[in-house]
Amino acid sequence: MPTARLSDEPAAPLAVAVRALCAFAARTGDLDLRFTPSPSALEGVAGHGAVTARRGAGYQREVSLATHCDGLRVQGRADGFDPAVPRLEEIKTHRGDAALIPDNHRALHWAQARVYGWMLCEQLGLERIELALVYFNIDTGHETVLPVWHGAAELKAFFESLCARYAAWARAEQAHRTERDAALQALAFPFEAFRPGQRELAAAVYRAQGAGRHLLAQAPTGIGKTMATLFAALRAAPARGIDKLFYLTARTPGRQLALHALQRLRTKPLRVLELVARDKACEHPDKACHGASCPLARGFYDRLPVAREEAARAGWLDKAALRDIALRHSLCPYYLGQDLLRWSDVVVGDFNHFFDLGAGAWALTVNEELRAGLLVDEAHNLIERARSMYSAELRPAAFHAARQAAPAALKKPMDRLHRQWSALARAQTQDHALLPDLPGAFIDALQRHTAALSDHFAHEPPAAGSALQAWLFEVLQFLRVAEVFDAHSLVEIMRTPQAPRRARHPAVHIRNLDPGPLLQPRWQAARSATLFSATLSPMDYMSALLGLPEDTARLDVPSPFDPARLQVRVTPYISTRFGDRADSLDRLVDVMATQYTARPGNYLAFFSSFDYLQQALQRLQLRHAAVPVWAQSRGMGEPEREAFVARFTEDSQGIGFAVLGGAFGEGIDLPGRRLIGAFIATLGLPQVNAVNERLRARLQARFGRGYDYAYLFPGLQKVVQAAGRVIRGPDDEGVVVLMDERFAHAEVRRLLPSWWRIERT
């Protein structure tokens, strides 16, 4: 919302898009997600173009319209207008049977058409106009046209009713924005003084946000990066007209740290919203997301306005508070949060909420043309997370399970896809092969298969968690990734060697190697983005693979900690290479036991895999049974992870065994006596395999440093993150033992923190 004028002059009208006006004021009835999948944005644009290309001479496309009502300036672009009739067309692309589009979706489409219809009547002086919803099936090219004539007076009354509903809320939002900005301009740092290095970081964030630049900021663990970045970004927001600040994290602990910092800032009337994944917010996981199945979806839009107003007054909307409000109004907490995304000032969520292909925060920023600020915590994780978001796999086992569960009505589309998959299998000469491009016939069959599933589910919604539903989600993700496929990714087909040859359908995998090109539009949409972490070195590597603009500012905050308080040792004559592990295992556990005996306390020991962890754990127990130990296990749930961390107390002693790059290598805070040392028995290098070798080759061709970008840099980032668990503040002291002779090599030493004083023992 624009900021209200602080004068006696008449306030400028509040701008609102037709889409936003109708979404706010015209939605009624149930939440209904049965009509899926919808076409992607690119498919929608292509579909609109296909429809308008069929129209005759004189047909007007993308007609810009604007009008005023009740202090609002309503604006938008009608899809198409034929002045000879006169007829306005509202074009919607879809898959499947248009007759199955839910009534509440269709009502929203009609509302948009009626608003545009009135705006045209007003502009051209028309007394009546024909409105037509045009549903275009992107798979078949078929148009379903629903024409209705309306009088101008009727359309005007409808339009004014929507504006009346929206205008009061808009004026309240305008007042909220004015009050919010005034509070942020007076925002005080919530502690008596900055920590060493914290002020430097805050100042850099403030300058970057103020200048509308992006910033890569490397700062040591323990200086208060979360508070520094939030404080600076909030202080800068009023002057730069920032509408919304997104604080994005890789893990739940980072989200909790951000919420804690925002509570310390105590900034009213700032609205803070915590976003969580749908499966974690769902109250009825056994039910489908529509009114006929879930009571929290039934009448959702009828009850939404009152809940929205209560949430806006509350301001603090973490997971628990949002759930309380939602359930008080019998609404789905997740979708209430999705609505409040538009009306919140600070949104705390996961990377995927902005960077995923279907990210709601990203769509809102683009569609509403928001001036958004980004704070990306633990940004070193974004490379791998983005690769995962922009990758997808179709597994034959999932298809076969869905095929067995499918009713007779789906037999033909299932068989069609099966034939195309079989054709891929017949053409495959190796168990693991790289395709030069997407298999076009297979993708086409997959799209038609999805349309058939969509029609079926519209008639018979699947049971939650069914094999057929799980398969649909897998296909939808694959098609989304396929749509953006380019040179940054590759296509693999992989067959299980042990499977009987006739049953050996290959898994089809689109694997992203270089996420930068797909991240670039996200950076362009943000007014300013600050990416921060304790491990962003080398910054050329981070900037290249994240696709950051060339003018991105950089900051490397020197460590404020006394190097004498951290003893860093490299153990010679120990190799943790795969072929050397058996021979070096005794020496490795002896080093650990010697350090523990010399200074009993709490230690973390990091290994490259669970198998290696177990080998070391068993050997230590065999040779040094008196040393207390506990270990991370595969598939640990949240309670088990919390129990593992809880073993580290001020009075406890022992060694916790963990996997490097896992849940305990970063994001946990064990100050003081809770952790006095770390053993790191790996360089963290990714496994050498066919996939990583293809990654190395691709990065070598693009950046000229394939081995470093694919293996060395990401591995040592994990090492530095794990070592950072030891020193959490200026009063901490401890030891880091790097248990591999390669840590003494010059090319490795250059990538370790410059403030470390490394000894060889």
Predicted confidence (pLDDT) per residue in 634-662, tens digit: 989 889 999 999 999 999 999 999 999 88
Amino acid at 470: A
Task: For tokens 């993708």, name the residue.
Answer: 443
| Inter-residue contact 219 to 204 (CB < 8 Å) | no
Give the torsion sign (CA, 25, 27, 30, 33).
negative
The predicted-structure confidence for 318-343, as pLDDT tens digits, reads as follows 999 999 999 999 999 999 999 999 99
- How many CB atoms lie under 10 A from the CB of residue 207? 16
According to the model, what pLDDT value does residue 497 have?
62
What pLDDT does residue 36 have? 55
pTM of the model: 0.91
How far apart (Å, rounded) are the C-alpha atoms in residues 94 and 92? 7
* Coil/strand/helix, residue 541: helix
Give the angle 613-617-623 at the CA atoms, nearest 5°.
145
Min mean pLDDT across 344-348, 388-392, 396-400 is at 396-400
Helix axes 103-124, 152-185, angle to 10 degrees: 100
**Residues 750, 753, 756, 758: is their CA dihedral positive or negative?**
negative
Residue range 423-452: mean pLDDT, rounded: 86
pLDDT at 129: 97
What is the pairing mode between strands 758-760 and 244-249?
unpaired
Rounded distance, CA 325 to CA 180, Å?
A: 22
Taking the C-alpha atoms of residue 209 and residue 530, their distance in angstroms, rounded to an integer, is 8
Is pLDDT above 60 for 5? no
Is the pLDDT confidence value at 421 over 70? yes
The pLDDT assigned to 117 comes to: 97
Task: Determine the average pLDDT of the residues in 305-324.
Answer: 96
Rounded distance between C-alpha atoms, residue 343 and residue 320, angstroms: 18
The whole-chain average pLDDT of the chain stands at 91
In DSSP notation, 428-491 reads --SSEEEESS--HHHHHHHHHHHHHHHHHHHHSPPPTT-HHHHHHHHHHHHHHHHHT-STTEEE
Per-residue model confidence (pLDDT) at position 1 = 38
pLDDT at 28 over 80: yes
**629, 655 in Cβ contact below 8 A?**
yes
What is the structure's pLDDT at 452? Answer: 84
Amino acid type, 661: G
pLDDT tens digits, one per residue of 686-714? 988 888 998 999 999 999 999 999 999 99
- Around 112, how many Cα atoms within 13 Å sit in the side-chain half-sphere? 23
CA torsion, points 24, 28, 33, 34, in degrees to nearest 10?
-150
Helical spans, DSSP H, in 125-217: 152-185, 198-211
pLDDT at residue 535, rounded to an integer: 92
501 confidence band (pLDDT: 50, 70, 90): low
Domains, in order of start, for the chain: 14-167 (3.90.320), 194-389+516-556 (3.40.50.300), 392-512 (1.10.275), 563-760 (3.40.50.300)
pLDDT tens, residue by residue, 540-551: 999 999 999 999
Confidence band of 61 (pLDDT split at 50, 70, 90): very high
Q: Can you give the pLDDT at residue 9?
A: 45
Q: Of 215 and 493, which is predicted with more confidence? A: 215
CB count within 10 Å of CB 499 equals: 14
- Tens of pLDDT along 97-149? 888 788 888 999 999 999 999 999 999 999 999 999 999 998 889 999 999 99
- CB count within 10 Å of CB 422 equals 12
Which pLDDT value is given to residue 138? Answer: 85
Roughly how many angstroms between the first and final C-alpha of the chain, as a whole number? 62
Give the tens place of pLDDT for each residue, 533-589: 999 999 999 999 999 999 999 999 998 888 999 999 999 889 999 999 999 999 999
Got the DSSP string for 517-530? HHHHHHHHHSSEEE
Phi-psi bin for 547: left (phi > 0), alpha (psi -120 to 50), beta?
A: left
Q: Which residue has the higher pLDDT, 158 or 35?
A: 158
Stretch 732-743: mean pLDDT, rounded? 95
Phi–psi pair at 355, nearest 5 degrees: -100, -15
For tokens 């019998």, what's the residue?
330
**Residue 76: other Cβ atoms inside 10 A:** 20
Q: How far is CA 347 from the centre of its chain?
A: 12
Q: Residue 620 is encoded by which pair of tokens?
A: 């230590």
pLDDT band for position 3 (50/70/90)? very low
pLDDT confidence of residue 372? 96
How far is residue 347's CA from residue 357's CA, in Å, rounded to a whole number?
Answer: 18
| Residue 382 clears pLDDT 90, i.e. is over it | yes
Give 462's pLDDT tier (boundaries 50, 70, 90).
low
| Alpha carbon 17 to its chain's center | 26
The encoded tokens of residue 218 equal: 């490397």
Rounded Cα distance, 572 and 523, in Å: 44
What local confidence, expressed as pLDDT, does residue 8 receive?
Answer: 42
Pick 361 or 251 by higher pLDDT: 361
- Quote the CA–CA distance of 177 and 175 in Å, as a whole number: 5
Cis peptide before 730 (omega within 30 of 0): no
Q: Is the pLDDT of residue 10 over 70?
A: no
The side-by-side arrangement of strands in the sheet containing 528-533 is 316-317, 272-274, 346-350, 244-249, 372-377, 528-533, 215-218, 553-556
- Strand, coil or helix: what is 554? strand
| 606-624: burial string, b at 16+ Cβ within 10 Å, e else | bbbebebbebbbebbeeeb
How would you class 140 by CB atoms within 10 Å of its CB: exposed for 0-12, middle for 13-18, buried for 19 or more? exposed
Residue 79's pLDDT band, with cuts at 50, 70 and 90, is very high
pLDDT at 425 (0 to 100): 86
Per-residue confidence band for 465, with pLDDT thresholds at 50, 70 and 90? low
User: How confident is the model at residue 464, as a pLDDT?
Assistant: 61
CA distance 362 to 341: 11
In the prediction, which pLDDT does 37 show? 58
Distance CA(626)–CA(612), nearest Å, equals 21
Task: State the Cα–Cα distance between residues 416 and 500, nearest whole angstrom.
Answer: 22
Task: Give percent of the chain above pLDDT 70.
Answer: 96
Give the model's confidence band at 430: pLDDT under 50 very low, under 70 low, under 90 confident, else very high.
Answer: confident
83: preceding bond cis by omega (within 30 degrees): no
pLDDT band at 21 (very low <50, low <70, confident <90, very high): very high
Q: In this predicted structure, what is the pLDDT of residue 429? A: 78
